[in-house]
Amino acid sequence: MRSVIAASLARECLLAVRQLSDLATPLLFFILVGLLFVLGLEPSPEILAEVGPGVIWVAALLASLLGAERLFRADLESGALELQALGSEPLTLSIIGKLLAHWLVTGLPLILLSPLLALMLGLPQAALPPLLAALILGTPVLTVLCALGAALTVSLRSSGTLLALVVLPLTVPVLIFGSRVAMEAGQGGAAEGGMLWLGALCALAASLGPPAVAVAVRISLE
């Protein structure tokens, strides 16, 4: 099992490194969304600090969606996805490696860039550690939800709009709890409740996400 997951993870990371433009696009989009909010809102530190956590989470979601459509597209066109589905090894193991790779090349860089965006939005320093912790717990959930939507729509030619319609409603709890964690911490309140909910969602996504994505892939291949 570990060898299958490690092989899938190494393959996906290698493909991502070979396509640096696809790797950099979500990160640039993440920064540009935050910059547009800074330029479009009233230049008041109070207003920016209040809406900042929500802006960061929305930007992270949109950046994750930006690369989700291509998550299974290349494998479908090359026939590798069908071979993985028909192979002797469980498809869930390959999906786990693909999800880990997608989070490493998309979710983790977004977390590392989030302090820069937080400084642009004027978030207080007390809100940065809870914000990073919330993103560490929340971005894997976004990865699983984006992968689930991509698996359900991979056989469609123009799946971008439908992918967004499928994924966006499912991400509402993550956005609510993630934004509240940073907002409560910035105002001196307790953020433990939101962190516990994010931890529960992360555990649920880690345990049920890969099998659900594998089932969605099989449905799309039929």
Residue 39: both structure tokens together: 């330029």
pLDDT digits (tens, 9 = 90+) for 82-136: 887 877 778 888 899 889 988 988 889 899 999 888 888 878 787 888 889 999 9
Residue 22: both structure tokens together: 């696809």
Residues 6+ apart with CB under 8 A from 66: 25, 26, 29
Scanning the chain, the segments in alpha helix (DSSP H) are 2-18, 20-40, 45-68, 73-78, 80-86, 91-102, 108-120, 128-153, 160-170, 172-186, 192-221
Other C-beta atoms lying within 10 Å of the C-beta of residue 124: 15
Residues 6+ apart with CB under 8 A from 62: 29, 30, 33
Q: How many domains does the chain contain in total?
A: 1
pLDDT 10s per residue in the chain (222 long)?
Answer: 678 788 888 887 887 777 777 778 888 888 888 888 777 776 666 777 778 888 889 888 888 888 787 788 777 877 777 887 877 778 888 899 889 988 988 889 899 999 888 888 878 787 888 889 999 999 999 999 999 988 888 877 766 678 888 888 899 999 989 888 877 776 666 677 788 999 999 999 999 999 999 998 888 887
Q: pTM for the whole thing?
A: 0.88
Angle, alpha carbons 70-71-74 (nearest 5°)? 65
- Show the domain range for 131: 2-221
